[in-house]
Amino acid sequence: MRAKRFHQLKKVKVRQTWNKYNLYNLSRIQAPPTIERTYYQQKWSAKSITRAYHGEVLREKKWQRMFRPYIRSVVPMNHTYLARTDGSDEAAGRGSGKDVRPDLQAGRKPARTPYMNMVYAELERRLDTAIFRAMFASSTRQARQFVIHGWVKVNGKKMIYPGYRLNPGDMFQVEPDRVLFATGAPKDREERRASRVYRSKMAAKDEENTEMPPPSKSTPSKNTSSTDPPAPKEPKNIVPQLLAQAKAILSNPSDALTVKRKQSLRAFRETLRRTLSRPNSLTDSIDAQLQEMAHKLNISLPDSTAEPDAFDSPAPTPSSTNNLAKTMAISDAEKRLLKEALIDARENPIDPSKPYATPWRPREYMSAFAFVPRYLEVHHKVCSAVYLRHPVARPGWAEVPTPFNIEQNGLAFNWYLRRR
């Protein structure tokens, strides 16, 4: 039996994903017809359409147990008036003889509170939905995969249950490399070919390192004194030896190592591989890199502190004119641009070992879904977010993101309200 397509184009169903077909379905979404349908049919069709977007990975029975007929809402009040008075006029009900003053009535613009758009507010507490809302994953299913595979932490502890309900004040964080993979553009054909070449080269290096004989314990000679310190080794020579030792320990089928120890060794091996793939230059400072590049290109950088004197400078000679192409000074603006390019290359380098396109760039059709709800406080640099509070309804709008109008959500609310 052929599986159904997740993004259907004939029968429009909107999903919680950044897919381009989902964006196309969003552009042509329409309310279902209600002329020749009974009220029961209208409620069922509204439930079917809205459930395809809200919690489609959740079973219907489980969602019916999660459903709450009570809706959280807030009503903004005039803080200036409350500061001047005790608020008894605002608290007085109808028929008590309290009349609102004309100056307060004139400034009020009553707006309709969309309570029915809060039907699926309980689903916003789920961890996988919160990860998708915080823009750490391109879909709810991908966020669910991140949680199950152990890439998500809640309050500093690993959480492997995507249905975990967040409480106000909970902080969750996702592995930054997974977020870059989820929100970054996929590799094209050339980048995939470069990744295959890189993997084959790394595999050949691993084989060479494993075939290297272990260093033999040589007896110390009589001429060398025991007080002499050992000669320091180059960092680049130590890294392959460490990589070979780590691989030899992991390849040995012994029960002495625990699972956590093996994971630590694998992570250490990947770090060593990245260190070997870096260029031979070990200069970390941007200014040092500029000087190194200038030395390689035979360019003299201008010194901003010393200003040459026009009278003390010697007259140009033919030999100096011929060597002008070799020793050519660049301006401060060009130096600043070169420095920015070096910083960008350091922070966003080209790395064929990554599963996403490098340098990193956002994926296509991402801007249409780039928003963060008000009940989340997101820090994208560290891939962490805080669940501030539960979503509420306010006059004029609701904090639960939904692509459906209030009529469809109202029909879905009545469907589940009848089954309580």
> Could you tell me the pTM of the whole model?
0.67
Residue 142 and residue 182 in contact, taking contact as beta carbons nearer than 8 Å: yes
Going by C-alpha positions, the residue among 282, 288, 293 that lies closest to residue 239 is 282
Percent of residues, the chain, with pLDDT higher than 70: 65
> pLDDT tens digits, residue range 373-397?
999 999 999 999 999 999 999 988 9
Average pLDDT over residues 8-26: 88
Q: What Cα–Cα distance (Å) separates residue 364 from each residue in 6, 253, 291, 369?
A: 19, 45, 38, 11
Mean pLDDT for all residues in the chain? 77
Instruction: Find all residues with CB under 8 Å of 148, minimum gap 6, and list them.
Output: 160, 162
**Separation CA 140–CA 53 (nearest Å):** 10
| pLDDT tops 50 at residue 310 | no
**Separation CA 385–CA 154 (nearest Å):** 10
Instruction: Find all residues with CB under 8 Å of 29, minimum gap 6, and list them.
Output: 12, 14, 403, 404
What is the per-residue pLDDT for 99?
59
> pLDDT tens digits, residue range 178-206?
999 999 998 888 888 888 888 888 888 77
What is the per-residue pLDDT for 416?
93
What is the per-residue pLDDT for 324?
41
Q: Which ranges constitute the DSSP H helices of 152-188? A: 176-183
What is the per-residue pLDDT for 54?
94
Q: What is the DSSP letter of 407?
A: H
The pair of three-digit structure tokens given for residue 293, joined into one six-digit string: 């590049």
What is the per-residue pLDDT for 303?
52
> pLDDT tens digits, residue range 41-76?
999 999 999 999 999 899 999 999 999 999 999 887
Q: Which amino acid is at 41?
A: Q
**Separation CA 366–CA 362 (nearest Å):** 7
**Separation CA 124–CA 131 (nearest Å):** 10
If DSSP codes are grouped into helix, strand and coil, which group holds residue 203?
Answer: helix
Higher pLDDT, 333 or 146: 146
Would you tell me how many other CB atoms lie within 10 Å of the CB of residue 6?
Answer: 14
Please, what's the largest Cα pairwise distance for the chain? 111
What is the per-residue pLDDT for 304?
44
Q: Which of 162-166, 213-217, 302-306 has the highest mean pLDDT?
A: 162-166
What is the per-residue pLDDT for 149?
95
What is the per-residue pLDDT for 197?
86
| pLDDT tops 60 at residue 316 | no
> pLDDT tens digits, residue range 76-109?
777 777 777 776 666 665 545 555 555 555 555 6
**Separation CA 299–CA 324 (nearest Å):** 10
> pLDDT tens digits, residue range 204-259?
877 777 766 555 555 544 454 445 555 555 555 566 666 677 777 766 665 566 76
| pLDDT tops 80 at residue 290 | no
CA end-to-end span of the chain: 36
Residue 248 and residue 241 in contact, taking contact as beta carbons nearer than 8 Å: no
**Separation CA 16–CA 129 (nearest Å):** 9
Higher pLDDT, 92 or 140: 140
pLDDT band at 308 (very low <50, low <70, confident <90, very high): very low
Which phi-psi region, left, alpha or beta, contains residue 212 (left: φ > 0; alpha: ψ -120 to 50)?
Answer: beta
Is the four-CA dihedral 397, 399, 401, 405 of positive or negative sign? negative
Residue 105's φ and ψ, nearest 5 degrees, are: -70, -35
Burial class (CB in 10 A: 0-12, 13-18, 19+), 147: buried
Would you tell me how many other CB atoms lie within 10 Å of the CB of residue 190?
Answer: 8
Going by C-alpha positions, the residue among 187, 203, 181 that lies closest to residue 269 is 203
Q: What angle do CA 158, 161, 164 make, to 5 degrees?
A: 100
The pair of three-digit structure tokens given for residue 261, joined into one six-digit string: 């120890």
> pLDDT tens digits, residue range 331-371?
777 667 766 666 666 677 778 888 888 888 899 899 999 99
What is the per-residue pLDDT for 75?
82
